[in-house]
Amino acid sequence: MNPRYDAIIVGGGHNGLVAAAYLARAGRKTLVLERRPLIGGAAVTEEVFPGFKFSVFSYVVSLLRPGIIRDLDLPKHGLQILPLESTVTPLDNGDYLAGWADPDETRRELCRHSTRDADASIVFGRLMHHMAMAVKPILRMVPPDPASLAPSDLRGLLKLGGHFRSLGPERFHALHKLMTMSSADYLDEWFEFDALKATRSASGIIGTFLGPRSPGSAYVLLHHYMGEIDGAFRAWGFQKGGTGAISETIANAARAHGAEIRTGAAVERVIVKGGQATGVALEGGEEIQAKLVVSGLDPRLTFTRLVEPKQLPEDLVDGIRRYKFRGSSGKVNLALSGLPNFTCMPGQGPHLRGAISISPSIEYLERAYDDAKYGEFSRHPYMDIVIPSMIDPDMAPPGKHVMSIFVQYAPYQLNGGWNDAKREAFGDTVVKTLARYAPNIESLILHRQVLTPDDIQRITGLSEGNIFQGELALQQLFFLRPVPQWAKYKTPIHGYWQCGAGTHPGGGIMGASGRLAALEILGANP
């Protein structure tokens, strides 16, 4: 006879692990089931090439919530976030634009290009600070349903209304613009130097099928500043050992509270009896009973694969069908015999310890998007490059390096579909693009791992390879994530819950979805 659990978490991604840790901490007998041989979902570290460790998919820690760090005592379980604080954008004229950790250095650098922008940057930073302060409380809030008259929803809406009213008209208007404009237009209002606008707007397009000129892309600019107001928590950075070590850290916390974690255990379906989830069936036939089943998988898998869509209301299933994934990014991981030599900043230097952004102009980014719009990967893609071994030398053998290249755009729906030849062509494009700025790169490559959205889907299960379990676009955020009325982690099936990044607030190694889901579950099942 199988043991009976209070809760089974389907999927050992970081949100599933966070949910498991919170449930176990509240005394619930919790089991996490992960299909792959290692936990972490898209936050995994793998030795893809002997001696070289890669954060294969997700590669930086962005907004891991300070509350989670404290509640689960993650520092005790292995959390160690190293600073990753500069961004260098090589320019086509052989110059560069750098943003350093030190604000004065950054200002001096900006003045080289535009004193006006250097001035504007400070005022812009202040506005973004206020915007981020305005939005931040939402990250730890279960989204109230504006169409509902339930007392809890009304209370939530009232709180939210009060919160926004307290911003004052100026900031409220700014927030509205930020929510609706394109990042290019928004930044045009502030800055004149093209590479600066391009590099900043890049954060607005990551993981979405939007270009810098697409309306709605401005909002994600805020994420960077939200990291900043977490201040000393410095939740923005590089976890020692790669993102897999974050997953291990959360798993250690969950285990310390008594949770069990099984890998190589693929859940085939959730067992539903009389509208109530009673457990899961694994591939291979094993059935495990539990009072609750929590899916950390994305909304498509949660509602159309783990359960029969016919067990769900039609409008929910329709909503899930309309929910946009559209993976738009790929990843190239390189094992290097030495360090790249950038023409704009020859030799070794601090720039190799931060991000290198291939975003020389807004037009460059928009053209990269144009290719994707018509079903091709970008001939000249946007790339966000880090060399993790420069920050954590344990990632590669001494003197050797690993390079992580996030690449956009690589559409999931590629003309003619992805295959081995297309994957390699995509990899070649990435290396060739980088070689324009760091000509020695090709001679350094010991091993190359290319991951297309198709590969991301195949390996991690993320539908259409979308790294956020669905686009972080305004029509899919907050009380609309993943669909209206089912944005509060609950599902129409009793005892079946959702906790992945496909729920509010979603995306990035933030853990907030997992935490809020667990708290909702505990509230509903005291």
Partner 1 sequence: MASAYDSHPEREYAAIRSSAALIDVSPLHKYRIQGRDALKLLDRMITRDMTKLKKAQVYYTPWCDGHGKVVDDGTVTHLPDGTFRLTSADSSLRWLHMNAVGLEVGIEDISDRMGALAIQGPLSRAILTGASPADLSKLKYFRMVETKVRDIPVTISRTGYTGDLGYEIWVDGSRAVALWDALIEAGTPYGIVPAGVWALDIARIEAGLIMLDVDYFSAHHALIEARKSSPYEINLGWAVSKEKGPFNGDRALAAERKRGAAWGFIGLEIDWESFERLFAGRGLPPQIPSVAWRSSAPVYKDGKHVGYATSGCWSPILKKPLALAHLRAPHFSEGTRVEMEVTVEHHRERAAAVVHKLPFYDPERKKA
Summarize as ranges the residues that interact with partner 1 (CB under 8 A).
Answer: 66, 69-70, 74-75, 79-83, 85, 100-102, 104-105, 133, 229-234, 240, 350, 353, 389-394, 398-399
How far are the Cα atoms of 156, 486, 517 from residue 523, in angstroms, in the given order? 16, 16, 10
The smaller minimum CB distance to partner 1, of residues 239 and 278, is found at 239
Query: In the bound complex, what is the minimum distance in angstroms from residue 346's beta carbon to partner 1?
Result: 17
User: Helical H runs in 355-511?
Assistant: 362-373, 388-391, 420-437, 441-444, 453-460
Instruction: Return all residues near 29 (Cβ < 8 A) that are at least 6 apart.
Output: 3, 4, 5, 6, 7, 258
Of the pair 48, 82, the CB lying nearest partner 1 is at 82
Q: How far is the CB of 17 from partner 1 (least distance, A)?
A: 18
Nearer to partner 1, 109 or 376 (CB): 109
* Cβ-contact 383, 357 below 8 angstroms: yes
Choice between 63 and 450, CB closer to partner 1: 63
Long-range contacts of 111-119 (CB under 8 A, 24+ apart): 113/193, 113/195, 113/196, 114/191, 114/192, 114/193, 114/196, 116/192, 117/190, 117/191, 117/192, 117/193, 117/196
Reading the block at residue 332, the tokens are 């190239």
C-alpha–C-alpha distance, residues 448 and 332, integer Å: 7
DSSP string, 466-502: -TTSS---GGGSGGGSSSTT--SSB-SSBTEEE-STT
Q: Residue 31 or 391: which CB sits closer to partner 1?
A: 391
Name the minimum Å distance from CB 118 to partner 1. 17
CB of 355 to partner 1, least distance (A): 14
Q: Measured from the CB of residue 499, what is the shortest distance to partner 1 in angstroms? A: 24
From the list 507, 519, 452, 515, the residue with the least C-alpha distance to 476 is: 507
Residue 137 or 264: the one with the smaller Cβ distance to partner 1 is 137
> Taking the complex as a whole, how short is the minimal distance between the CB of residue 241 and partner 1, in angstroms?
10
Nearer to partner 1, 39 or 79 (CB): 79
Which residues, in sequence order, are bridge partners of residue 307? none
At 430 the three-state DSSP class reads helix
Spatial separation of the C-alpha atoms in residues 56 and 104, rounded to whole Å = 34
* Nearest to 172, CA basis, from 216, 212, 133: 133
- Rounded-to-integer distance, Cα 498 and Cα 108, Å: 48
270 sits in which H/E element: strand 267-273
CB of 102 to partner 1, least distance (A): 4
Least spacing, CB of residue 240 vs partner 1, in Å: 5
Q: How far is the CB of 179 from partner 1 (least distance, A)?
A: 22
Closest to partner 1 by CB, 3 vs 137, is 137
User: What is the Cβ-side half-sphere exposure of residue 150, based on CA atoms within 13 angstroms?
Assistant: 10
Comparing CB distances to partner 1, the nearer of 109 and 260 is 109
Cβ nearer to partner 1, comparing 399 with 523: 399
Instruction: Look at phi and psi of residue 402 and say left if phi exceeds 0, alpha if psi is from -120 to 50, else beta.
Output: beta
Min. distance of Cβ 446 from partner 1 in angstroms?
15
